[in-house]
Amino acid sequence: MTDPAPDRRLLIDGRLTGAKTTFASLNPATGAVLGHAPDAGPAEAEAAVVAARRAFDTTVWATDRDFRVRCLDQLHRALVDHKEELRALTIEEVGAPHQLTAGAQLEEPIATVRWYADLLPAFEFSRDLGVVEVRGGRHRRWVEKEAAGVVSAIIPYNYPNQIGLAKLAPALAAGCTVVLKGAPDAPLVTLFLGELIAEHTDIPAGVVNVLSSSGAAAGEVMTTHPDVDVVTFTGSTATGRRIMAAASETVKRVFLELGGKSAMVLLDDADFRTASMMASFMSCSHAGQGCAICTRLLVPRERHDEVVEMVAQGLARIPVGDPADPATYMGPLISERQRDKVDALVRRAVADGAKLVCGGERVDPGFFYKPTLLAGVDPDSEIAQEEVFGPVLSVIPYDEEDDAVRIANNSAYGLSGAVFSASEERSVNVARRIRSGTFSINGGNYFAPDSPFGGYKQSGIGREYGLEGLAEFLETKTFGAPA
Ligand code: NAD
């Protein structure tokens, strides 16, 4: 039987193209086939890397800032003009609720492109270091920031627009050339970005290449090829480790945004009702498929049962259903495989002694899983240590503030966190003692295109967004000349 024709195409060296075979992308809200994507293998990945190297070495992309500003403007314009098509595809392929596309699933990523386009004209690519005297000679020194080179960008399925553009926009602003690979479970959204670039911008051939693949072989070429200078990866910590090892052979710069198991700490003077409501809604954001979600809720032991009750009330109020319905807050998990993984973790948590308060059930058709609450969770148990990536919240009792900090830090991860207290000062002091890259204080939002985002410990290396996000794609060259 011949493969179905692809619904979208790869972008390699300025050409929109298919591959020898295709693979299916499913609509997770129904389980039905949504479309087919080209299955890029090592040959397509090699062609994309070679094109990106050639574009970096032989075009003005890396050195002509004004041209890059113009192209980023065009990319932003194309995204704005095609926003509704991309919204529909993101809802269908990723299972992202319509509500979420007003934020992190679509509108915010488009704003990120705008932010880097606006930053670029005035960005200081050089810095004067003044004069030094060495053995009687006077020397003038300065530093120049240059594009780091060819970038391999590998992304997960959960927020493909957000993560794809959080890599693409600063890499292009810096003057890098890019091979971007979408996730096997959400290939079409990322291919759509490639088509916009090919059809609506003057970005030269080879500067951006976009691949989709069902397996790891294309990604392996992207992380080992000697022509690649930087690997930027967002995904699981397990894959991040493999990528770091693979890239070490050619000593690439590796930038990793990995998993999380973040804690929300309710201090004894917190507004428990507000915090419980936020914890319940946050745990079900995109059905729990977010790296920075607080999936451990730490509460004073004597308030444990009361908080569990309030969180359960919050979870019962969450509108779960068709992601295309603007009233829906929570849609499906991405796949049956992911649902099996989540369900197995919940079963094992109960076997480990956690109390299943609500949820723990599949809902068909599609890959839905009910909002799930586990109470009395042991901070050392698997459910408190492993990333679940499903709508599952674990309530962990603590005895005193130091104990809460110790439990929050009892994790291989360090991506995000939250603290609630009547006193902002108290919240901030606790947040400072917890090792993670971002923090919400009393329900505050930190997320924006200019806010650096990333993890401590095994949640990653480097920062996305903001000036730090641009720095990941810049090299530093230091000059000295007779004064
Ligand atoms: P994943 O690690 O399974 O896959 C991510 C990407 O890596 C995919 O494109 C996949 O094809 C590719 N890949 C797999 N093996 C590879 C290899 N050997 N070489 C090169 N590429 C390879 O992750 P996922 O299941 O798609 O996404 C969920 C994970 O992503 C969670 O762990 C989540 O915490 C993490 N995540 C982190 C952040 C962050 O910013 N820290 C954001 C979103 C998601």
pLDDT in tens, 177-222: 999 999 999 999 999 999 999 999 999 999 999 999 999 999 999 9
What the block records as the tokens of 263 is: 């804690």
**Distances 162 to 37, 206, 261, 334, 383 between C-alpha atoms, Å:** 20, 22, 20, 16, 27
- Does the beta carbon of 149 sit less than 6 angstroms from any atom of ligand 1? no
For residue 435, which phi and psi values (nearest 5 degrees)?
A: -85, 90
Q: Which residue has the CA at smallest separation from atom 9 of ligand 1?
A: 183
Identify which of 224, 239, 291, 436 to mutate to test ligand 1's pocket (most ligand atoms within 8 A of the CB). Answer: 239
Q: Is residue 1 part of a domain?
A: no
Strands 15-17 and 10-12: antiparallel
Sort 53 into a burial class: Cβ within 10 Å, 0-12 / 13-18 / 19+.
buried
User: Is any ligand 1 atom within 6 A of the Cβ of residue 184?
Assistant: yes
Q: Which two three-digit tokens encode residue 157?
A: 């399925």
Sign of CA dihedral 326, 330, 335, 336: negative
On the question of pLDDT at 366 being above 90, the answer is yes
Contact 286, 99 (CB under 8 A): no
Q: Which residue has the tokens 């080879």?
A: 206
Q: Is 257 in the pocket of ligand 1 (CB under 6 A)?
A: yes
Distance from the alpha carbon of residue 285 to the mean position of ligand 1, in angstroms: 19
* Centroid of ligand 1 to alpha carbon of 236 (angstroms): 4
Pairing mode, strands 253-257 and 262-266: unpaired
For residues 464 and 126, give the distance between their C-alpha atoms in angstroms, rounded to a whole number.
22
pLDDT at 137 over 70: yes
* Ligand 1 pocket check for 415: Cβ under 6 Å: yes
Give pLDDT, residue 448: 96
- Give domain status of residue 354, yes or no: yes
Residues 444 and 469 in one domain: no
Query: Does the Cβ of 239 fall within 6 Å of ligand 1?
Result: yes
Question: Residue 4 domain-assigned?
Answer: no
Q: How far, in Å, from the CA of 252 to the mean position of ligand 1?
A: 19
Ligand 1 midpoint to CA 477 (Å): 32
- Atom 26 of ligand 1, residue of closest alpha carbon: 156
Domain match, 167 and 293 both: no
* 204 and 270 fall within a common domain: no
Q: Which residues are catalytic?
A: 257, 291
pLDDT recorded at residue 95: 98
Examine the domain organization and report whether 214 and 238 are in the same domain. Answer: yes
Looking at the chain, how many residues does it have?
A: 483
Q: What is the rounded distance in angstroms from the CA atom of residue 280 to the CA atom of residue 278?
A: 5
Please, what sign has the CA dihedral across residues 96, 200, 39, 167? negative
162 and 45 inside one domain: yes
The answer on 350 and 234 residing in a single domain is no
Structure confidence at residue 3 (pLDDT) = 83
Residues 109 and 235 in one domain: yes
The answer on 343 and 266 residing in a single domain is yes
- Judge whether 338 lies within some domain: yes
Residue 303 within any structural domain of the chain: yes
Q: Give percent above pLDDT 70 in the chain.
A: 100
Tell me how far the alpha carbon of residue 155 lies from the centroid of ligand 1, in angstroms: 6
Cβ of 260 closer than 6 Å to ligand 1, yes or no, is: yes
Mark whether 250 and 380 lie in a shared domain.
no
Quick one: 58 exposed, middle or buried, by C-beta within 10 A (0-12, 13-18, 19+)?
exposed
For 181-200, b where at least 16 C-beta lie within 10 A, e where not — what string? bbbbbbbbbbbbbbbbbbee
How would residue 1 be classed by pLDDT, with cut points 50, 70 and 90?
A: low
Q: Which of 221, 232, 291, 341 to mutate to test the pocket of ligand 1 (most atoms within 8 A of CB)?
A: 291
Asked if residue 382 is part of any domain, the answer here is yes
Residue minimizing CA distance to atom 13 of ligand 1: 216
Q: What is the pLDDT of residue 289?
A: 98
The answer to whether the CB of 210 is under 6 A from ligand 1 is: no
Q: Confirm or reject: Cβ of 39 under 6 Å from ligand 1.
A: no
* 299 and 160 in a common domain: no
Residue 418 has pLDDT above 70, yes or no: yes
How close is the Cα of 241 to the center of ligand 1, in Å?
Answer: 11
Per-residue pLDDT, 2 = 73
Number of structural domains (the chain) is 2
pLDDT classification of 383: cutoffs 50, 70, 90 = very high
- Region 388-407 average pLDDT: 98
pLDDT digits (tens, 9 = 90+) for 61-119: 999 999 999 999 999 999 999 999 999 999 999 999 999 999 999 999 999 999 999 99
Range of the domain at 367: 262-448
Q: Which residue's CA is minimally distant from atom 43 of ligand 1?
A: 291
Mean pLDDT of 410-419: 98
> Which atom from ligand 1 is nearest to the alpha carbon of 291?
34
| 45 in a structural domain | yes
The CATH number for 171's domain is 3.40.605.10
Does 458 sit in the ligand 1 pocket, CB within 6 Å?
no
Q: Is the CB of 95 under 6 A from ligand 1?
A: no
Provide the mean pLDDT of the chain.
98
73 and 104 assigned to the same domain: yes
The CA 239 to ligand 1 mean position distance, Å, reads 6
Alpha-carbon torsion 465, 470, 473, 475, what sign? negative
pLDDT for residue 444: 97
Measured on CA atoms in the order 165, 86, 187, 221, is the torsion positive or negative? negative
The answer as to whether 5 is a domain residue is no
Summarised one tens digit per residue, pLDDT across range 258-296 is: 999 999 999 999 999 999 999 999 999 999 999 999 999
Residues 464 and 363 in one domain: no
User: Rounded mean pLDDT of 32-44?
Assistant: 98
pLDDT grade for 232, boundaries at 50, 70 and 90: very high
Residue type at position 197: I
* CATH number for the domain that contains residue 399: 3.40.309.10
